[in-house]
Amino acid sequence: MKMKVVLPIFLLLAISCNKAPFSANRTNVILISLDTVRRDCWGQLVGSKHLDMPNIIAIYKRFKGIIFTNAFSVSHYSTPSHMSVFTGLSPVVHSILEIKKGSLPPTIKTLAEILQQKGYTTLAFNSNPVLAQEVGFHRGFEVFINVRRKLAPAEHLIKEAVKYLKIARQKRSPFFAFFNFMDAHADRSDIGQNFLPYYSPPKYRRNVKVSKQEFCIDQKCAIQWLKEINNRRISVPQETVDKVENLYRAGVKYLDHQLVGLFSFFDKEGISKDSLIIIFSDHGEEFREHGFFDHVQPFVETIAIPLMVMIPKQEKPKIVKAPVSITDIFATVLEYLDIPPPNYKLDSVSLLQSDLRSKRLILGVSHPASEFTFFTVDFPLSLKISPHKNKTKLFHLIQDPFEQNDLASISRNRVADTKSRFHKKLEYLIKKRDKIYEDWPREQPYSFSPELEKTLQALGYL
């Protein structure tokens, strides 16, 4: 196991004495990022035939959670999405789009920094290498642990977290804990050894019959096979696509099972009843619904995300259909704890507001390699925009939940109307970004440790 810790465990007990006295309520805050988990893994509550996370749904019922069935990310890959969770800002504003370009300016405050200032013990348990300290993801965390292990990372991440949380629990101050689980992500840890694009222990994938070299091409296997199929636009029989998807879902089921252990620990320690817990994913995954594997384009299978909020003393479980954004997690935490937001305008509204607007434009950015630069959800309309190619696609998410019928050529008025709302919002966000970045170079040079550089290269990020 390779691990990087900002602060050794024995110092954790000693750090609260220099902090501001804690005066508000003692609610702990727990954010759980299920990296790459598609919304449709949550079954019929979110309108899906797949139930890959029955334990999460049981937790929803037991904890009386609030599930948001129309939650959208602001990107289809990890770096900008997570930074939007941490800052409550659109990726256009925080500008952390790629891990090797720039770091967060000090004028932007992260959730961990704000909570740390309020006396919280702040802990991160992370298995995603792109949530790199060099970019600013570590800011405000007293402990930032990266767990990178060949197989079964959820088990190890939870084991580490339990050690630290037990200590944090002994302190008078509440804690903020962030988790990132990469178990649903294409297998990045065992490249060329298990030959499968997604890892899960054998018992979770016993119904998927695969031969040893099935996911290898020119000696490139597993995650590299997915990338080769994408890059070379190779056609794949539907039977193979189904196997890939089933292997992915096996990984999600494994993660779901592991989370039972984490929540049992929360119950045992009494954490469940005095914590604000938010479970979400940063983006989904593609199985060639729009021609590719992985999560390389902004279609509904990658931008629709599962999202659940659990607050102490919620009377009954609730389903909310209003469109919401991943950026809203930030405002939800601050509002619930009665902490004032930073003095710049956020792109975030509390998910606990009783009158969440049904008309809200969610603006997202794509990976630079994607055909589309931006996307918006102006629910139920979903627009993909490629300004340099002058290309637009429009879908109606209620009539066409899988985004299969492009309406751009037959609904020109709708395209024009949504595009004009998009342009107005984009202009506003760019102005805001320029103000925040006034004294901060947008592309700061920095270097990664050789170990991280190697991991990122293997994943194809660099």
CA distance 348 to 33: 18
Nearer CB in complex with Zn ion: 257/367: 367
Q: Are residues 407 and 391 in contact, defined by beta-carbon separation less than 8 angstroms?
A: no
Nearer CB in complex with Zn ion: 78/382: 78
Give the nearest distance from C-beta 197 to Zn ion in angstroms: 16
Which one of 31-39, 191-199, 213-221, 354-362 is the stretch in contact with Zn ion (CB under 5 A)? 31-39
Q: How many residues bind Zn ion (CB under 5 A)?
A: 3
Give the nearest distance from C-beta 36 to Zn ion in angstroms: 5
Nearer CB in complex with Zn ion: 187/282: 282
Q: Which of residues 372-391 bind Zn ion (CB under 5 A)?
A: none
- Phi, then psi, of 287 in degrees rounded to 5: -125, 55
Nearest to 385 by CA among 32, 394, 170: 394
Nearer CB in complex with Zn ion: 78/275: 78
Q: Which of residues 67-96 bind Zn ion (CB under 5 A)?
A: 78
* Secondary structure of residue 131 in the 3-state scheme: coil
Q: Are residues 334 and 114 in contact, defined by beta-carbon separation less than 8 angstroms?
A: yes
Give the nearest distance from C-beta 306 to Zn ion in angstroms: 13
Nearer CB in complex with Zn ion: 28/297: 297
Nearest to 346 by CA among 98, 84, 113: 84
Give the nearest distance from C-beta 283 to Zn ion in angstroms: 5
CA distances from 158 to 163, 260, 262, 320, 326 (A): 9, 10, 6, 30, 24
Nearer CB in complex with Zn ion: 142/285: 285
Q: Are residues 114 and 342 in contact, defined by beta-carbon separation less than 8 angstroms?
A: yes
Residues near 308 by beta carbon (within 8 Å), at least 6 away in sequence: 56, 60, 65, 66, 67, 68, 278, 279, 280
Nearer CB in complex with Zn ion: 113/282: 282
Give the nearest distance from C-beta 183 to Zn ion in angstroms: 12
Give the nearest distance from C-beta 245 to Zn ion in angstroms: 18
Instruction: Please identify the residue of the shown chain whose CB is closest to the bound Zn ion.
Output: 78
Give helix 328-337 / helix 78-87 axis angle, nearest 10°.
Answer: 20
Give the nearest distance from C-beta 79 to Zn ion in angstroms: 8
Interior CA angle at 437 toward 340 and 374, to 5°? 90
Give the nearest distance from C-beta 182 to Zn ion in angstroms: 8
If one asks whether residue 35 binds Zn ion (CB under 5 A), the answer comes out as yes
Please tell me the chain's helix, strand, coil percentages from 3-state DSSP, rounded to the nearest 5.
35, 20, 45
The 260-299 contact track toward Zn ion, x by CB under 5 A, reads ----------------------x-----------------
**Residue owning tokens 């817990």:** 277
Q: Which of residues 95-114 bind Zn ion (CB under 5 A)?
A: none
Nearer CB in complex with Zn ion: 78/455: 78
Interaction site with Zn ion (CB under 5 A): 35, 78, 282
